[in-house]
Amino acid sequence: MSKQLTSTKTKITGFVIVVAIIAAIGGALFGYDIGVISGAILFITQQFHLASTAEEITTSAVLIGAIIGAMFGGFAADRFGRRNSIIFAAIIFIVGTAISVIARDDFVLVMGRVTVGISIGVASFIVPMYISEVAPPHVRGMMTSLNQLAITIGILLAYGVDYLFSASGNWRAMFAAGLILGIMLLVGMIFMPFSPRWLLSKRRTQEAQKELQKLRGTSDVKAEIQETEEEIESEKGSGGLKALEAPALRMPLIIGIGLAILQQVTGVNTVIYYAPTIFEEAGFKSATASIAATVGLGIVNVVMTIVAIFLIDRLGRRPLLLISLAGMVFGLVALGADFIFSRGSTAAGGAFGTVAVISMMIFVASFAIGMGPIFWLLISEIYPLNARGTAMCVATVANWGSNFLIAVTFLSLVSVLGQGGTFLLYAAVGVFAWFFTLRLVPETKGKTLEEIQAHWQSGKHPLEMGKKAESKVVLG
């Protein structure tokens, strides 16, 4: 490990920016499809006369598909490469959407939605993985978080499209609009390069060199190639599930899976899926007012993700995560208390509704500056190349699995604990997440992926990673 690139600032070329933006359209598919169902389901339920169980299955079909997709995505990423897997995900997305649009009964519709879910499950982690592998280290956080920005834009687009077609009740058009994103991703990715790191792991050195030269805008990429090759050499072992047994992987696995679960069980998607219902419960008189407030939340989500993108490589991952979780807990406690103390009061629709809106905005804003983007970023940074596909896949399955769990338990939790109790429960989990982050989550800001691996190999505690960041000397 002598002549290393380490913290040298690699040039940010126009090409690498285009690559990151095109790949991030995969994130927009993710956001669009978790957002679109909230409006579409109202009309589907009417047309197909769905009972409540069928309605729940139709709503969560994407999540079931995503769990399946995430399971196979790791294999695809390692075997066929990141770029081809994203192309594959775009094709499945287009097929699944087409099935949903033409479905004549609920069974076919659910099949279509599961297919769409499979594509989203694959894309949800291969997109950040791909971007993190092509990005220069000093802006890796920023570029990889474009994926989260695209997720939030996708959600907002879906709210907008739902609103547009809600007068006519045309749910088929709501789904069909997503095709535009799928086609953009498919066509765009055909022109994108392979990940040089993946090529090197397949010993395709010449091609890796060519792709890297294009991405870095210079012919002098020897040091970066050598650094990555050294990393591959030092790992040697095979990929697949076996790779996860390495002792050096234990800690990064705990961190990745832990954050995957905590990102979901603090309740963000109850807000994404049920915001209009929560607003109505909080005293908003008309459906239109509730929808407008929901769009407001979508906008806050996008704007604060943009703020995160600018802070992530400056402030670092850890401080942002800790601020984020503290804000989320504050928002949840305020929301919970509002439901407990204002329920049935004459203020309903007045102070009750206002506090509900403000606390939900605080919650979503706080999620967006940390927990949203940083979970996906960290799992694309902290695993060694030979296990990256498999380990990210395990964390992603844990994320979608917890998303599903929260979706199917939220309404039952509310009937047992009430809205107030449910949000306070999420707040308690948020406090746990804060301590988990404080004790275990490392600072990866400015480190090359190779340095991060060297750290795990050394067996040092995760928190020591950040301490070394500033003192690293560039050799050669």
* Residues at the interface with ligand BGC (CB under 6 A): 34, 148, 151-152, 263, 268-269, 272, 301, 372, 376, 399, 403
Tell me the closest approach of the beta carbon of residue 91 to ligand BGC, in angstroms. Answer: 23
Tell me the closest approach of the beta carbon of residue 2 to ligand BGC, in angstroms. Answer: 39
Closest residue to ligand BGC: CB criterion: 372
Given the complex with ligand BGC, which of 45 and 152 has the nearer CB atom? 152
Task: Tell me the two tokens of residue 20.
Answer: 């990151």
Secondary structure of 367-432 in HEC code, one letter for each residue: HHHCHHHHHHHHHHHCCCHHHHHHHHHHHHHHHHHHHHHHHHHHHHHHHHHHHHHHHHHHHHHHHH
Given the complex with ligand BGC, which of 263 and 444 has the nearer CB atom? 263
Tell me the closest approach of the beta carbon of residue 326 to ligand BGC, in angstroms. Answer: 18
Tell me the closest approach of the beta carbon of residue 68 to ligand BGC, in angstroms. Answer: 17
Residues 6+ apart with CB under 8 A from 180: none
Tell which residue, 303, 77, 317, 305, has the closest CA to residue 198.
77
Identify the three-state secondary structure at position 435.
Answer: helix
Given the complex with ligand BGC, which of 201 and 403 has the nearer CB atom? 403
- H or E segment to which residue 473 belongs: none
Cα–Cα distance list, 471 to 7, 382, 453, 465, 466 (Å): 10, 20, 17, 11, 10
**Counting beta carbons within 10 angstroms of the beta carbon of residue 256, is it exposed (0 to 12), middle (13 to 18) or buried (19 or more)?**
buried
Tell me the closest approach of the beta carbon of residue 35 to ligand BGC, in angstroms. Answer: 8
Given the complex with ligand BGC, which of 294 and 403 has the nearer CB atom? 403
**Ordered alpha helix ranges (H), 250-286:** 250-265, 268-281
Given the complex with ligand BGC, which of 113 and 455 has the nearer CB atom? 113
HSE (side-chain half, CA atoms, 13 Å) at 456: 28
What is the CA 259 to chain-centroid distance, rounded?
11
Tell me the closest approach of the beta carbon of residue 149 to ligand BGC, in angstroms. Answer: 9
Tell me the closest approach of the beta carbon of residue 327 to ligand BGC, in angstroms. Answer: 15
Given the complex with ligand BGC, which of 114 and 259 has the nearer CB atom? 259
Given the complex with ligand BGC, which of 81 and 121 has the nearer CB atom? 121
Q: What is the largest CA-CA distance in the chain?
A: 73
Helix axes 14-48, 178-190, angle to 10 degrees: 150
The whole-angstrom separation of Cα 436 and Cα 445 is 19
Tell me the closest approach of the beta carbon of residue 372 to ligand BGC, in angstroms. Answer: 4
Tell me the closest approach of the beta carbon of residue 403 to ligand BGC, in angstroms. Answer: 5
Tell which residue, 178, 176, 72, 174, has the closest CA to residue 123.
72
Tell me the closest approach of the beta carbon of residue 181 to ligand BGC, in angstroms. Answer: 16
The whole-angstrom separation of Cα 390 and Cα 387 is 5
The whole-angstrom separation of Cα 133 and Cα 373 is 16
The whole-angstrom separation of Cα 168 and Cα 176 is 15
Given the complex with ligand BGC, which of 228 and 437 has the nearer CB atom? 437
Tell me the closest approach of the beta carbon of residue 257 to ligand BGC, in angstroms. Answer: 14
Given the complex with ligand BGC, which of 66 and 185 has the nearer CB atom? 66
Given the complex with ligand BGC, which of 181 and 243 has the nearer CB atom? 181
Given the complex with ligand BGC, which of 58 and 148 has the nearer CB atom? 148
